[in-house]
Chain A
Amino acid sequence: GAVVSQHPSWVICKSGTSVKIECRSLDFQATTMFWYRQFPKQSLMLMATSNEGSKATYEQGVEKDKFLINHASLTLSTLTVTSAHPEDSSFYICSVSSGRLLNEQFFGPGTRLTVL
């Protein structure tokens, strides 16, 4: 499967600040990446689909102006949480489609965001 990295692995920030999370596909070029959010003891919820060279597609209820996604290259997608608030504290995970079989997604190690 694909190898995916995320940076940082954890971040603590003050309320009102912005935080950028990077997702990198290390071993192949990913035209599509996905961003998920997972609250404690809950399942993964898809936030948005990140398409290289075009605007991201957001799921219903996810504010696109708050969660800015940039997929500027085939190996890098970034998620910026703008004006973060304590309720944005969560585990953010990205994934990539292998390209061979789109339904198989391979996940990064996740980023734990804590907003004070």
Chain B
Amino acid sequence: GQQLNQSPQSMFIQEGEDVSMNCTSSSIFNTWLWYKQEPGEGPVLLIALYKAGELTSNGRLTAQFGITRKDSFLNISASIPSDVGIYFCASSRNTDKLIFGTGTRLQVFP
């Protein structure tokens, strides 16, 4: 089935560092969403992207919808300990079904 590949699989960084992660697919998608999930909780929507090339920010987070419509990246600037969690990309075509990426686990050390 469809799969979105995220990299890196995990990151261990120091507080204050910038973070970059991406999500790629072999297929074209119309929507890219980025979610954060903390242990024992449901995912929380961070950023939604709807147009190829779109660059959107939410506080210290910035995400872009790739021009080819097959990828997206998420950047976190000046990381803080509460950024810890698993970041998932999710995509869809013309239906409301979402396909989730494999996830990037972020650990921030003070």
With A43-B88, A43-B102, A43-B103 in contact, do A107 and B97 touch (Cβ < 8 Å)? no
Q: Which residue of B lies closest to A9 (CB)?
A: B40
Instruction: Tell me if A's interface is mostly helix, strand, loop or mixed.
Output: strand
Number of interface residues of A (CB under 8 A): 25
With A43-B103, A103-B31, A103-B48 in contact, do A108 and B42 touch (Cβ < 8 Å)? yes
Number of interface residues of B (CB under 8 A): 24
With A103-B48, A104-B33 in contact, do A110 and B40 touch (Cβ < 8 Å)? yes
* Cα distance A95–B96 in the bound complex, in angstroms: 12
Enumerate chain A interface residues (CB-CB to B < 8 A): 1, 4, 6, 32, 34, 43-46, 49, 60, 93, 95, 97, 101-110, 112
Q: Type the 1/0 row for B76-110, where 1 means its CB is closer than 8 Å to any CB of A.
A: 00000000000010101000111111110000000
Nearest Cβ distance between residue A31 and chain B, in whole angstroms? 10
Besides A1-B45, A34-B98, A45-B100, 11 other CB < 8 A contacts? A4-B42, A6-B42, A43-B88, A46-B98, A49-B97, A93-B42, A97-B96, A107-B42, A107-B43, A109-B42, A112-B40
